[in-house]
Amino acid sequence: MSTTATPSAPRAGRREWTGLAVLVLPALLASMDLSILFTALPRISAELHPSATQQLWISDIYGFLLAGLLITMGALGDRIGRRRLLLIGGALFGAASALAAYVPTAEALIAARALLGAGGAVLAPSTLALIRDMFRDERQRGVAVGVWTAAFTGGIAVGPVLGGVLLEYFWWGSVFLINVPVMALLLVLGPLLLPESADPRASRRFDLLSAALSMAAVLPVVYGVKELAAHGAAAAPVAAIAAGLALGAVFVRRQYTLPDPLIDVGLFRRGAFSASVGVSALLTFSLVGFGLQAVQYLQLVQGISPLPAALLQVPTAVGTVAGIALATRAVRRVPPGTVVGTGLLVSAAGFALLTLVRVDSSVLLVMGSYTVLTLGVGMAMALANAMVIGSAPPERAGAAAAVSETGAELGGALGIAILGSVATAAYRSGVAGEVPPGLPPEAADAAGETLGGAVAAAEHLPGPAAEALLEGARQAFTSGLDTLALVGAAVLVVAAAAAFAALRGVTPATDPDGPR
């Protein structure tokens, strides 16, 4: 990836840098909404009484809809204008946030989170695409992408922090309501500071069938994987995965035959592009999937209230920023593939440390290990995003950014679904036999499904029985946490090996497209 300024490229000025601050807002919120719910889930469970399956849907429906719509919205922004689409998305996201804050049932919250996912999909692709257009100088663009990446990945860490602060003083719906004033600010400042940007051939036909196929390919696969992880092999989820893959093949084939495809699938022949998309997906898969469990560990195992638990996660956001700064400087002298691969190995080391966590472990071990993990995420993710948008032609920046963000969001959604389901299965297995007789059937079922349910059930038991139930439930949950950390470490070691191989031909002085 080149980091040398192109002499003929105009340099960004004060307006562009101020506009970048505006673009950070939707990037921050879109990723923050993947994780801000982590802190609120215990409160939501207590008030809305979702089942274990509903709890997973509340968490992951947002990411599923986001991932399913991103490609369509990225291509649409290239045609109708990225700033216009950004502002439409801001209005939709704000309205859906207000709705989610006041829903009365778990089913209604799932529906509201689905609308939030749709709003996030309208918002997200325009941010990176506008950066590609606003920052023509490659070194300035690298810095701008680093700032955007800090917001996007940092939002995952900041979400629980902000959620903890809000829950200390307000009800659970405040974690959604906070989005409304931020979106209002975007709607006011966006037209003043952001340029309109679109494909100069914007009159070309938008292929609605390709848009439908992109969603029809993504959503059945996600559903099928989620159901397999939660309930094991069954005909319905296997059929859903097969149908999604078949529709994905039809989608790709159609893109090759269209004069104006929804996405340029030829981009995946470029080593830097395809490897970078994969890196983003796997990092988000591991980080978000583990993050949900880590927040519950702090609150329900360690017994830390939401605000202190949130504040303990501040160093993880600092770790991400430090990783981005380190990667931005290192890539001037070290090949990008080496920096990305090293970042993945650092994250894997953080996961390896997390396998040491026990019920009575020091909080310093948990958060120190997690900070090592986020340091590596910052190193790898910043360069991955820069290589994605740098390898695409400017007029296709929206579609390229959407592919990258689809990978990241799909990775996050699958992380919650798969790793969350693995954790649930490990908990159920470990807590079996720990639920004492005499509990009402509903309380017994809740205690056998989630740690939050066990905590609630213990309130109705006498002291010794309550303590025995809580001890067994906490041991079962922590054992599942260790399993997830081991899986995360293994995934990232494999990803590091792939990144070293796929990006070995990319150097700071060569074509950012890398090996073809």
User: What's the distance, CA 456 to chain centroid?
Assistant: 29
The 10s digit of each residue's pLDDT in 35-55 is 677 677 778 887 888 877 777
Q: Which of 114-118, 135-139, 360-364, 492-496 has the lowest mean pLDDT?
A: 135-139
Q: What pLDDT shows up at residue 201?
A: 60
Q: What pLDDT shows up at residue 389?
A: 66
Q: What pLDDT shows up at residue 371?
A: 87
Pairwise pLDDT comparison (252 vs 392), residue with the higher score: 252
Q: Is the pLDDT of residue 153 over 90?
A: no
Nearest C-alpha neighbor of 280 from the set 154, 394, 406, 418: 406
176 to each of 101, 116, 268, 359, how far by Cα in Å? 5, 10, 36, 31
The 10s digit of each residue's pLDDT in 270-279 is 767 778 788 8
Most distant CA pair in the chain: distance in Å? 78
Please give the helix or strand (H or E) that residue 501 lies within, else none: helix 463-502
Which residues lie closer than 8 Å to 265 by C-beta, 6 or more apart?
Answer: 252, 255, 256
**272, two tokens:** 């830097």
**Contact 417/229 with Cβ under 8 angstroms?**
yes
* Rounded Cα gap, residues 455 and 182, in angstroms: 35
The 10s digit of each residue's pLDDT in 89-99 is 889 999 999 99
pLDDT confidence band for 74 (50 / 70 / 90): confident
The 10s digit of each residue's pLDDT in 187-208 is 998 888 888 876 666 546 777 8
pLDDT confidence band for 167 (50 / 70 / 90): confident
* Rounded Cα gap, residues 454 and 50, in angstroms: 14
Pairwise pLDDT comparison (387 vs 113), residue with the higher score: 113
* Rounded Cα gap, residues 420 and 415, in angstroms: 7
Pairwise pLDDT comparison (176 vs 224), residue with the higher score: 176
The 10s digit of each residue's pLDDT in 427-486 is 887 777 666 666 667 667 777 777 877 887 777 777 787 787 888 888 888 888 888 888
Average pLDDT, the chain: 78
